[in-house]
Amino acid sequence: MAYAHLLSLTHVLQRTLKYDCSYLLPGEKQQIDSLLKKVVYLQDFLDNFPKENIESIEGLERKISDAACQTEDIIEFYIADRVLEQFTSHSGDIFTTSFHEIAKLIEEVDSVKIRVEKIEDEGGVQEDLEHNTSLPVGSLRTAPSGQSTMVGLDDAMAKIKDHLVSSSSKLEVVSIVGMGGIGKTTLAHKVCIDKYIEYHFHICAWFTVSQKYNGREILLGLLDSMKIQIDRRSEKDIDHLGELLYKKLKGRRYLFVMDDVWDINAWDSVKRYFPDDKAGSRILLTTRLENVANKISSRSHLHHVRFLNDEESWKLFRLKVFGKGFCSLELKGIGKKIAQNCRGLPLAVAVIGGLLSKATKTPHYWRSIAENLRSEITSNDEQCSKILSLSYKHLPYHLKGCFLYMGIFPEDFEIRVDVLTKLWVAEGILKPASSKTLEDVGEEYFLDLVQRSLILVQKKGSSGKIKTCTIHDLLRDLCIKKAQKEKFFHVSEQSFDVIQGSISMRRVSINAKNPRSFLPFYYTTKGTLQGDDKTPSSLKGLLPFSIVEDSFDSRSLKVLHTEGTDHLQNGMQVLVNMRYFNSYFGYDIASRYKFRNLQTIITHDGINELPLEIWKMPQLRHVKLEQTASLPDPPISEIKGEENSIVVLENLQTLSMIHGFSWTEEVLKRIPNLRKLAISYDIMTKAEWKKQHINDLAHLTKLESLKCCITYICCEFLADLTFSTSLRKLILNNIKLHPSELSNLGSMPNLEVLKVRWITFLHQKWEPNEGEFLKMKCLLLYNVELKHWIADSIHFPSLEHLKILHCQLLDEIPRGFGEISTLRSIKLCGGGDSIVESAKKIEEAQMDWGNDAFKLYIDKY
């Protein structure tokens, strides 16, 4: 994890220069500048090193990783000393060791670079720099031989066949996408050996591209699969081979399979040699990378391979173990459990099925396999491990740390994407990009991992963004295995003894079996947490009971994330390097201004008021309180005109849930980049509401999401508000208003999501104007006192999702919604018969328009 640790060190150095200059001694700023340049140099080296030879520098990577971690710890230790006013004369000592180690590494890096350049000058021979070995350039085999066992993908096979033999005469590419081991190759093979496909195409050929390829090898493989023999030692270049292929295909309808494509360049290097004679020829490719498929084929010709359900998994398992035979009743129950625990991955089912087909078929043995299923799969089938590991090996450096981090969450845990990206930011493993926040970068990294079929999408939010995700058990095991090998983190499921002595681990996750009591606990092990006298020695320094206030190690604690349980008691004030704090206990989390590195605060217990010192935390990015608390006005400089004394929280993006939020200029100018705001107010008169300076809301020019909860205010609430044009999501709760006030919202140019709950309309009819809500994608009406809604398709032209819940008075949904071409779903709950009937008519209209994607959900309760 050298690259991730270099990124983390880079963030520490940059933060030290920006926020801790007052703690630096003369000359140290220049030293940090110089050190930062050296660290960036090492990053660039790893970024640009030939990926095919990356295994040759594993030893060097490990040295870089250790040096980066050591340097980060040294710097943060001494700065923490100075922040805690334990100032000692460490002038020059901070960097002596760091400079020496980094300088030695750069010398070694330069030596490696010279050797790489020499190899490239001599013809670019792809060989291991130390062991003269390399991965295969690409398989030259034809399609898989024999009858591969395929279960449960008949629907996918039918769709792919339809695309292959469709009426379109032009050459088209059809893509099969999914994670490693999900059955892409098996599916492609089944399609190719289908009798109708063989009859339809004059020529069928197959080539497995793999990760390392060149155009010449691809062409040789395709010619070979067509039984056209070419002497591989001949000097025919790619154009000569391409011309030969072109002539053989000219005027004929052909189907070529390119299996296991990792890079669009693999297709670009040969596509010009495939003639398009308007004969209906097709290219069928399989890939783990959705972005590769998107660039090569159209969205309509992209097929995601799904996981098997429990019944399909059991059927495949039974075929692998017993063939055409029968499973005894005594084995059936445990066999179904084994198949189910493979989590729908055909590779896992096939591997464990093959193992049990040759083993003793007794309930006792099968139960032992079930208890250690994943370790049995990976330890007994080397090919399985290789298939899964390829996805990790092929990741660019900047994604490797982010992917491995997925293993720190418990098995089967549904991970919130916003939590995941916040943790990536706090850990310092994201590479900054100009004009983007680190959260934006994290979201891009996350989507990249999704498109690489490494992360499974679970739920999406109202705006269409992915809300939660999971990772397949076998991939999680891969993350843990790789992370522990590279000393990136350690995971324990109450097996604390294995942690004892693992002080080189910088992150530890302790996951109990009870979902309400597991404690993912992320920190450097140098962040020592102390147990009581009854705590086993193997737990000392790991369990969050109390923190040793005067410990050197405790100051290194950076990330604390708990789920459902806490035991932390005291000592928080020494955690000057804490970056991320998510906890269920009501500790006074911000009572110490010395939390100067704190970026994220998430608490689930109530606190009445945030402390004044929160305005002295310039690195704050997210403050999320599950229960409301008030925010004090920022302190005013004691020296008149001393603008430099004002701390602007330029990184702050989230502020939720704040009670009685004040919109004064003094507050808003300190949070200029706020993106998400949730606020609440008590009962107010109109005059009291106007005193809130609510028109200043327009000054938050980056605000994207606003949630406003008011315990009944007078009418004209919206009429008094001027919203920022950047607003995309608005939630309003407990408000009295006139329907005409919604025109203020309808005119907002970027509003995509509107949720109104417990709203009292002073008039029972809502009739929007033409030209309003042009970008509205999701509309929720919950317990709204509204009877008549008069609208047409022109009023909500972009609407995708409509939810009407517990609106007892509303008589019907406007019929014109049946003509909204973008509509994907309507959900009703607790409404009368008339509104249900109107929804069914809209469904009929959508079907008549050919919108097969539309879904109607009705729940009368």
DSSP states along 83-116: HTT-----TTHHHHHHHHHHHHHHHHHHHHHHHH
Q: What is the pLDDT at residue 627? A: 85
- Mention every residue, 6+ apart, whose C-beta is less than 8 A from residue 767: 739, 789, 790, 791
Q: What is the pLDDT at residue 536? A: 34
- Measure CA 795 to chain center: 35
720, β-bridge pairs? none
Examine residue 653 and state whether it is found in any structural domain, yes or no.
no
Q: What is the pLDDT at residue 573? A: 56
Q: Please give the DSSP secondary-structure letter assigned to residue 202.
A: S
Q: What is the pLDDT at residue 806? A: 93
The Cα–Cα gap between 674 and 668 comes to 9
Q: What is the pLDDT at residue 74? A: 82
The Cα–Cα gap between 380 and 387 comes to 14
Of 15-24, 288-297, 338-347, 843-852, the range with the lowest mean pLDDT is: 15-24
What mean pLDDT do residues 824-834 have?
92
Structure tokens belonging to residue 395: 């990741």
Give per-residue pLDDT as tens, 524-558: 444 333 334 433 333 333 333 333 344 436 566 78
- Output 514 or 806, whichever has higher pLDDT: 806
Examine residue 451 and state whether it is found in any structural domain, yes or no.
yes
The Cα–Cα gap between 481 and 556 comes to 25
Give per-residue pLDDT as tens, 683-693: 777 777 766 66
Give per-residue pLDDT as tens, 42-53: 999 898 887 777
Percent of the chain with pLDDT over 90: 41
Structure tokens belonging to residue 130: 């130390």
Helix 28-48 / helix 397-404 crossing angle, nearest 10 deg: 100
The Cα–Cα gap between 779 and 807 comes to 14
- Using a 10 angstrom Cβ sphere, with 0-12 exposed, 13-18 middle and 19 or more buried, the burial of residue 452 is buried
Alpha-carbon torsion 263, 265, 268, 269, what sign? negative
The Cα–Cα gap between 427 and 138 comes to 37
Contact 623, 610 (CB under 8 A): yes
Ranges 101-110, 332-341, 383-392, most confident: 332-341
CA-to-CA dists, residue 461 to 263, 416, 457, 727, 781, angstroms:
31, 11, 11, 16, 16
pLDDT surpassing 70 at residue 346? yes
274 plus 343 within the same structural domain: no
Q: What is the pLDDT at residue 143? A: 46
- Mention every residue, 6+ apart, whose C-beta is less than 8 A from residue 285: 173, 174, 175, 176, 257, 258, 259, 261, 267, 293, 296, 297
405 plus 377 within the same structural domain: no
Q: Phi then psi for 559, rounded to 5 degrees?
A: -130, 120
Residue 444's CATH number = 1.10.10
322 plus 409 within the same structural domain: no
The Cα–Cα gap between 314 and 342 comes to 10
Q: For the range 388-396, what are the long-range contacts, defined as Cβ-Cβ under 8 Å and sequence gap of 24 or more? A: 388/180, 388/181, 388/474, 388/475, 388/478, 389/478, 390/180, 390/211, 391/179, 391/180, 391/288, 391/452, 391/453, 391/454, 391/475, 392/478, 392/482, 393/54, 393/211, 394/51, 394/211, 394/262, 395/452
179 plus 300 within the same structural domain: yes
Amino acid type, 725: T
Examine residue 764 and state whether it is found in any structural domain, yes or no.
no
At residue 827, the 3 state secondary structure works out as strand
Q: What is the pLDDT at residue 553? A: 60
Give per-residue pLDDT as tens, 247-299: 999 999 999 999 999 989 889 989 999 999 999 999 999 999 999 999 998 77
Q: What is the pLDDT at residue 741? A: 79
Number of structural domains in the chain: 4
Q: Between vectors from CA 759 to CA 756 and to CA 762, what angle results, nearest 5°?
A: 130
Contact 728, 750 (CB under 8 A): yes
298 plus 325 within the same structural domain: no
- Domain boundary among the residues 270, 304, 338 is at 304
Contact 792, 768 (CB under 8 A): no
108 plus 188 within the same structural domain: no
Examine residue 456 and state whether it is found in any structural domain, yes or no.
yes
pLDDT surpassing 90 at residue 633? no
Percent of the chain with pLDDT over 70: 80
Contact 133, 210 (CB under 8 A): no
Examine residue 822 and state whether it is found in any structural domain, yes or no.
no
Q: What is the pLDDT at residue 146? A: 42
Give per-residue pLDDT as tens, 842-855: 999 999 998 988 99
Contact 486, 506 (CB under 8 A): no
- Mention every residue, 6+ apart, whose C-beta is less than 8 A from residue 311: none
Q: What is the pLDDT at residue 121? A: 60
Contact 779, 801 (CB under 8 A): yes
275 plus 348 within the same structural domain: no
Q: Which domain holds residue 185?
A: 154-304
- Domain boundary among the residues 427, 452, 473 is at 473
pLDDT surpassing 50 at residue 245? yes
- Using a 10 angstrom Cβ sphere, with 0-12 exposed, 13-18 middle and 19 or more buried, the burial of residue 844 is exposed
Examine residue 240 and state whether it is found in any structural domain, yes or no.
yes
| DSSP one-letter string for 316-379 | HHHHHHHTTS---HHHHHHHHHHHHTTTT-HHHHHHHHHHHHTS---HHHHHHHHHTHHHHHHH
Owner of token pair 């992150």: 507
Residue 195's CATH number = 3.40.50.300
What mean pLDDT do residues 10-37 have?
88
298 plus 192 within the same structural domain: yes
At residue 519, the 3 state secondary structure works out as strand
pLDDT surpassing 80 at residue 97? no
Give per-residue pLDDT as tens, 585-620: 555 554 444 677 889 988 877 678 888 888 888 899
Give per-residue pLDDT as tens, 114-151: 776 766 565 543 433 333 322 233 333 344 544 467 88
pLDDT surpassing 80 at residue 170? yes
The Cα–Cα gap between 2 and 23 comes to 28
Examine residue 41 and state whether it is found in any structural domain, yes or no.
yes
Ranges 96-105, 365-374, 382-391, most confident: 365-374
Examine residue 417 and state whether it is found in any structural domain, yes or no.
yes
Residue 365's CATH number = 1.10.8
375 plus 437 within the same structural domain: no
Structure tokens belonging to residue 418: 């916003």
The Cα–Cα gap between 180 and 453 comes to 8
202 plus 274 within the same structural domain: yes
Local confidence band at 77 (pLDDT 50, 70, 90 cut-offs): confident
Contact 803, 780 (CB under 8 A): yes
- Domain boundary among the residues 274, 304, 334 is at 304
326 plus 299 within the same structural domain: no
CA-to-CA dists, residue 51 to 45, 128, 134, 341, 799, angstroms:
12, 11, 11, 35, 45
Tell me how far apart the terminal alpha carbons of the chain are, to the nearest angstrom. Answer: 52
Contact 814, 789 (CB under 8 A): yes
Give per-residue pLDDT as tens, 761-796: 878 889 998 888 999 999 999 999 889 999 988 999
CA-to-CA dists, residue 367 to 224, 333, 372, 411, 681, angstroms:
47, 10, 9, 20, 58
Residue 89's CATH number = 1.20.5
pLDDT surpassing 50 at residue 474? yes
Query: What does pLDDT average to over the chain?
Result: 81
Give per-residue pLDDT as tens, 669-685: 899 999 999 998 887 77
CA neighbours closer than 13 Å in the CB half-sphere of residue 31: 19
Return the closest-CA partner of residue 5 out of 53, 63, 49, 51: 63
What mean pLDDT do residues 635-660 have?
76
269 plus 163 within the same structural domain: yes
Local confidence band at 485 (pLDDT 50, 70, 90 cut-offs): confident
